[in-house]
Amino acid sequence: MGYYGSLVANTAVAKEASLPRVDRGILYFSDFVAPYWMFIPAFGLLVGAYLPLASAFRRAGGGARRLAALVALPTAGLLNACYIVFMGGDYIHARLLIAPFFAVCAPVAAVPLARRYVVALLVVPWALVCAATLRTTDGGQWTTPYYFSIEGHGALTPDNAALGPSGSSIHWYPRPAVYVQFASPQSITKLDVTPAPGVRGPVIATSWIGYVPFALGPNVQILDLFGLADPLAAHLRISVRGEISGHEKPLPTPWVAALLTAGGSSTDQLSSLQHQRPGYFAPITPVVSGHEFAVETAWARAALQCPAVKDLREAPSRSLTPGAFISNMVRSVARTTLRIPPNPEDAYHRFCGPGTPPQVRGAIDG
């Protein structure tokens, strides 16, 4: 609360960790259970391990305490799985359910070799069949929608991803400029614009905030288009439930223009490039171009100066003085719950009030 000015991690806000989507969560859970015939090990471990162990604990005395120890981890795993289902799961097959699955299996990973546990042996042939033949369907809706093409084998490094000092994807670095990367890591475009005040070049707007920024190094500013590492995009209000759970707030391009370019810069280049953005990330505002795009950018620039929005953006990066720490603590609840309308004009009226600021009137007249 004192350091970031928020009650929870920024990713929890960006992914709306309290906004349910049960129907999709059930589909995500069934996509994990069905391909591997999970009912077989579940039955084997329940009847052949958990129930015999519980019975043995009762007969041995001190059963309540031992039973509590036996069920603590699987109970936590089941609660975790229920939360994942409640929230809508994920967009990559099974990964969020691996930890709950481990928690359910861990207490009975080893049981005595005795007749009462014989049903647990069902797990052995199931594991062999599962390892040899049972697979999820490649290319399904929970398979990652992008793939890394790396020559050779081994770890993902800047060099083998063409992002090393001589790599084909890093030819622009470290020239001070503004760049956007709306599609693949190789589709980097330099904008012919003046950077916005406070923007140090080079700066890149991208949704690839993993290995690409790592390869580019600490001297490159990153604007995360999905909000995991950006407070403005994280606090946008979801207006459309997207196809991919947890990534439902792609920052509208007029906001990108307002954040990265100075007033008076042409928006035509960004307006044309926005159509490169992947279709599986549903836009949360209508996509406009040309004069409408310039007007929305002007509204976004005006909204960024509204006190609440400006405070939200500056709080995580200002110097952490004792006063700033206390201020962050006091304002953390309001900042955490704050949501910004994705339409720039609506955001301005929400946080600055009625009227049309001069820069917007200029854009309308222009």
pLDDT tens for the 366 residues of the chain, in order: 999 889 999 999 999 988 899 999 999 999 999 999 999 999 999 999 999 999 988 887 767 888 899 999 999 999 999 999 999 998 888 899 999 999 999 999 998 889 999 999 999 999 999 999 988 765 555 454 434 444 444 566 666 666 665 666 555 555 778 989 887 666 788 899 999 988 887 899 998 888 777 777 788 889 999 999 999 999 999 877 777 778 889 999 999 999 999 998 899 999 999 888 877 677 899 999 999 999 999 999 999 999 999 999 988 888 999 999 999 999 999 999 999 999 999 999 999 999 999 999 999 997
Is 163 a domain residue? no
Q: Which residues are CB-neighbours of 85 under 8 A, at least 6 positions away?
A: 22, 25, 26, 28, 29
Instruction: Assess whether 128 and 198 both reside in one domain.
Output: no
Domain limit, last residue, from 132, 159, 186: 132
Domain limit, last residue, from 132, 154, 189: 132
Instruction: Assess whether 128 and 173 both reside in one domain.
Output: no
**H or E element, residue 326:** helix 322-337
Give 37-93 pLDDT, tens digit per residue: 999 999 999 999 999 999 988 887 767 888 899 999 999 999 999 999 999 998 888
Contact between residue 226 and residue 14 where contact means Cβ atoms under 8 Å apart: yes
Q: How many CA atoms lie within 13 A of 5 on its CB side?
A: 23
In the chain, how many domains are there? 2
Is 141 a domain residue? no
Instruction: Assess whether 323 and 214 both reside in one domain.
Output: yes
Instruction: Assess whether 280 and 224 both reside in one domain.
Output: yes
Instruction: Assess whether 277 and 321 both reside in one domain.
Output: yes
Is 139 a domain residue? no
Instruction: Assess whether 39 and 108 both reside in one domain.
Output: yes
Instruction: Assess whether 33 and 88 both reside in one domain.
Output: yes
> What pLDDT does residue 166 have?
62
**H or E element, residue 362:** helix 358-365
Q: How many CA atoms lie within 13 A of 92 on its CB side?
A: 7
Domain limit, last residue, from 72, 106, 132: 132
Instruction: Assess whether 292 and 217 both reside in one domain.
Output: yes
Instruction: Assess whether 111 and 194 both reside in one domain.
Output: no
Give 206-239 pLDDT, tens digit per residue: 988 887 777 777 888 899 999 999 999 999 998 7
Is 145 a domain residue? no
> What pLDDT does residue 155 have?
60
Instruction: Assess whether 312 and 360 both reside in one domain.
Output: yes
> What pLDDT does residue 83 have?
96
Is 69 a domain residue? yes
Give me the residue label for tokens 């100075």.
262
Domain of 48 in residue numbering reads as 10-132
Is 104 a domain residue? yes
Other Cβ atoms less than 10 A from the Cβ of 301: the count is: 24
Choose among 270, 177, 163: nearest CA to 213: 163
Instruction: Assess whether 47 and 186 both reside in one domain.
Output: no
Is 140 a domain residue? no
> What pLDDT does residue 146 have?
39
Is 317 a domain residue? yes
Instruction: Assess whether 175 and 316 both reside in one domain.
Output: yes
